[in-house]
């Protein structure tokens, strides 16, 4: 029976890598390995290289008119 509570002999093999270059992480620059990789990542954010894709909502009308949730009360109830 295998003991799953023991750690593997080589902990470095499981250490997380820098997301920019793949080298082992350094605690000071976590999650990166150096200030250079941290700066590369910052530049990617500031230049717009990283973006969250937006999905078009097909339920909204394209004519700019009021949708179902935008109805206004006219006082004729």
Task: Determine if residue 33 is labeled as part of a ligand binding site.
Answer: yes
Residue 21 annotated as binding? Answer: yes
All domains of the chain in start order, with CATH: 14-48 (3.30.50.10)
Q: Is the pLDDT of residue 3 over 80?
A: no
Sorted by sequence, the CB contacts under 8 Å of residue 55 that are 6+ apart come out as none
> Has 18 been labeled as part of a binding site?
yes
Is 37 in contact with 44 (CB distance < 8 Å)? no
pTM: predicted TM-score of the whole model, two decimal places: 0.51
Residues 43/35, Cβ–Cβ less than 8 Å: no
pLDDT (tens digit, 9 = 90+) per residue, 18-72?
A: 999 999 999 999 999 999 999 999 999 999 998 888 887 766 666 666 655 555 5
Q: Which is higher by pLDDT, 11 or 59?
A: 59
Name the residue among 25, 47, 49 with its Cα closest to residue 37. Answer: 25
**CB contact at 8 A, 40 and 23:** no
Checking if the pLDDT of 7 tops 60, the result is no
């Amino acid at each position: 029976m295998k003991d799953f509570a023991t750690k593997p002999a080589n902990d470095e093999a499981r250490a997380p890598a820098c997301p920019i270059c793949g080298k082992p992480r350094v605690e000071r620059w976590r999650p990166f390995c150096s200030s250079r990789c941290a700066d590369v990542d910052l530049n990617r954010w500031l230049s717009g290289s990283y973006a969250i894709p937006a999905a078009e909502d097909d339920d909204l009308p394209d004519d700019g008119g009021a949708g179902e949730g935008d109805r206004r009360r006219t006082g004729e109830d």
